């Protein structure tokens, strides 16, 4: 994600987050980036300076007790279960139906897949964080 300082043609400054430079340009050209003060869609990037911090903190380092607790939970789940990626719904259903041996798993499921699992009584729970993907 890229944070851009933006300015409309009326001189109002604001900021926005975009996936990439091309993403900003595509949204701007489609009239999807508007000034929050006057509504103008004639917007361009303003002058920007890189953010510089004095203390270097790894991006994964918890910054408060809640983040530390979530990181500890993530480590426990990752250490004690198998990551099955996008096959989560299929694996969970197969274990529930007795077609595969039961084991602890974590992975990803589309919302409709998760809803169907819950409706069918398959015991699943959402994780309070996004899984770290192990494959592209």
pLDDT above 60 (res 135): no
pLDDT tens figures, 13-68: 998 888 888 889 999 999 999 998 999 999 998 766 666 666 655 556 667 888 88
Q: Is the pLDDT of residue 4 over 80?
A: yes
Task: Parse the chain into domains and list their residue ranges.
Answer: 2-45, 58-136
Q: Please, which residues bridge with residue 2 across strands?
A: 18
CA distance 124 to 115: 10
Contacts of 123 (CB under 8 A, 6+ apart): 96
Q: For 81-127, what is each residue's pLDDT tens digit? A: 999 999 999 999 999 999 999 999 999 999 999 999 999 999 999 98
């Amino acid at each position: 994600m890229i944070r851009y300082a933006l300015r409309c043609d009326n001189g109002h400054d604001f900021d926005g987050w975009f996936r990439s430079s091309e993403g900003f340009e595509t949204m701007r050209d489609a009239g999807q980036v508007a000034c929050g003060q006057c509504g103008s869609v004639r917007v361009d990037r303003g002058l920007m300076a890189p953010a510089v911090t004095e203390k270097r903190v790894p991006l994964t380092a918890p910054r408060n007790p809640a983040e530390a607790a979530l990181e500890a939970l993530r480590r426990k789940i990752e250490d004690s279960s198998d990551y099955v990626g996008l096959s989560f719904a299929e694996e969970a259903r197969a274990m529930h139906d007795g077609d595969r041996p039961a084991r602890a798993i974590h992975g990803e499921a589309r919302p409709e897949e998760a809803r169907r699992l819950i409706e069918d009584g398959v015991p699943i729970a959402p994780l309070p964080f996004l899984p770290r993907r192990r494959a592209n």
